[in-house]
Structures are given as C-alpha cells and as structure tokens.
Amino acid sequence: TASVAAVPAVAAPATAVAPFSPVSLATRDLHLSLGGNPVLRGVDLDVPRGDTLCVIGPSGSGKSTLLRTVNRLLEPDRGDVLLDGGSVLQRDPNLLRQQVGMVFQQFNLFPHLSVLRNLTLPLRRLRGLSREEADETALRQLDLVGLRHKAQTRPGRLSGGQQQRVAIARALVMAPQVMLFDEATSALDPELVKGVLGLMAELGRAGMTMVVVTHEMGFAREVADRVAFMDHGVVVESGSPQALFDDPRSPRLRQFLTDVL
C-alpha cells in the first residue's frame, strides 16, 4: 500500500486492469433514513489507498444502502464520505461516479447494446471520447478481462459470469479510483462464481481500493485486508479477517457466522 501511495499511477504487471490511481475512502458518521426507517445509524469506515474492505452482515443490515450512499445514488441525512480526505458531497455526482465504480448483483448492463457499446457509451457520454478513441480503450479493457472476442455480442447471449465480467470492465474502463461491489456473485450459478471472484481478487492485488459487500466468506478471508460486520445500520465489529472469523467478539457476529458458515 505504501508503494502504491508513492506513485500517481499504478502500472500493474500482467493483470486484468489498466493503470489507475487509487485513493483512500472513508465514511464519517453516516446516517440515512428511508421511508421513516433508520437504515444507516452512524457508519464510520476507513479504507486506506489500495486496500480491500469486505463488508459482511445479515440481509437488511444496510450494506447496499451504505454503498449507494458512498457514490451518491443516495444522499445521507448526516455525515460525510471522503476520498483522499476530501468530501464528495459537494462534487458533481456524474464526476464522482466516474471516480467510484460500482458493480451490482444484477449486472445492470444495457441489454440492447453490444458488449463493446456498453463500454463505449460512458466513455463517449461522460468522457467525450471520439468513436475511435472509445473503441480502442474499450477493446483494450475487454482484452484485459478476456472478453474481446465477445465485443459484438449482446449481454443476454453471455453467461452470468461473462456478463458480470463485462460489468466490471465497464466500471474499470472509466479508470475509477475506488471500486464498490454489491454482492457481485450472488446471482451467479455456483460454477461461475469463481471466475468473477478471481477477477475481483486480481484487481485487489493490483492495488485498487475496494469495498466488497459479499456472502463469500472464503473470499473475505483470503482477499480482504479488513472485514467489517454490519448489523442494524452500524458497523458492529471490524478488523483483520483472522480477528473477525477466528475470534469474533460480539454475540451478533458470532451468531451470524454460525448461521452462514
């Protein structure tokens, strides 16, 4: 992490990602109520530059709401989100969503567009690249995730695992500084999970700053620098994977681990 911080762009060796410049991410006392429900009740997180934080916790604990608040798909009632120490709440949301890439459980690809056009659309609309520049950038990114041969295919003709890798490529092609994953493998058939987790792990190893909401406890244990356990809108416990999985402190985390493992 220290060496990553020292250089402006990380040219990751033999990897699925193009050069990028990760930043640190923090949340401070985030509060948000939805429909009268207090969903986030004071969430503080610190993800150093280049680290992977895995967020675990029961359904309804506020994990998706937290990620959506980080990239301002939702606005907090109180608190702040910081990138490299600077508040994002005053920034242009469209610019922010280029800096903070997000991958969803349901891929959210445009079904009527080819794989290539799914990647070039944000490059042209948000970055203002020419058709030629956008095509070149997108094809290079598809190459990196091993899907260049699917460039002209529509998403619906791909496997779920391939669709999710396209969704990840679409986020990465914007050269984000942080990546958020919301249960990116939960909708996949079991045999397709590994390829997507492998790409995510590679991205983490290459030095991306990532927040990964996941039910894959094996991934959290292997890949996360830190793990945070959420329940009822707060981080109940956080620490190294070893600390959380091998020596859970709170009764709620113990119960959760008993239920999922």
Q: How many CB atoms lie within 10 A of CB 78?
A: 12
Instruction: Give the range of 62-70, 117-125, 127-135, 172-180 binding Mg ion by CB under 5 A.
Output: 62-70
Write each residue from 56 to 95 as x if it is in contact with ligand ADP (CB under 6 A), else as -, in one continuous string: -x-xxxxxxx------------------------------
Is residue 64 a contact point for Mg ion (CB under 5 A)? yes
Pick between residue 57 and residue 195 the one whose CB is nearest to ligand ADP: 57
The site string for ligand ADP over 154-173 (x = CB under 6 A, - otherwise) reads --------------------
Residue identified by tokens 């309804």 is: 60
The answer to whether 27 contacts ligand ADP (rule: CB under 6 A) is no
260 binds ligand ADP per the rule CB under 6 A: no
Residue nearest to Mg ion as judged by C-beta position: 64
* Nearer residue to Mg ion within complex by CB, 20 or 107: 107
- Asked whether position 214 contacts Mg ion by CB under 5 A, the answer is no
- Integer-rounded Cα Rg, in Å, for the chain is 18
Chain residue at closest Cβ approach to ligand ADP: 35
Rounded-to-integer distance, Cα 259 and Cα 253, Å: 10
Q: Which residues pair with 132 in a beta bridge?
A: none
Q: Answer for the pair 210, 220: CB distance below 8 angstroms, yes or no.
A: no
Mark residues 40-59: x for contact with ligand ADP by CB under 6 A, - for none. Answer: -----------------x-x
Q: Which is nearer to Mg ion, 88 or 180 (CB)?
A: 180
Q: Which stretch binds ligand ADP (CB under 6 A): 5-13, 14-22, 32-40, 242-250?
A: 32-40
Least distance from C-beta 68 to Mg ion, angstroms?
A: 9
Other beta carbons less than 10 A from residue 85's beta carbon = 8
In whole angstroms, the minimum distance from the beta carbon of 61 to ligand ADP comes to: 4
Amino acid letter, residue 1: T
Residue number with CB closer to Mg ion (187 or 201): 187
Determine if 39 is a binding residue for ligand ADP (CB under 6 A).
yes
Considering the complex, state which of residue 51 and residue 231 has its C-beta at the smaller distance from ligand ADP. 231
Q: Are 100 and 178 in contact (CB under 8 A)?
A: yes
List the single partner that 163 binds among ligand ADP, Mg ion, none, CB under 5 to 8 Å by kind.
Answer: none
Nearest residue (CB) to ligand ADP, 37 versus 159: 37
Residues that bind ligand ADP (CB under 6 A): 34-35, 37, 39, 57, 59-65
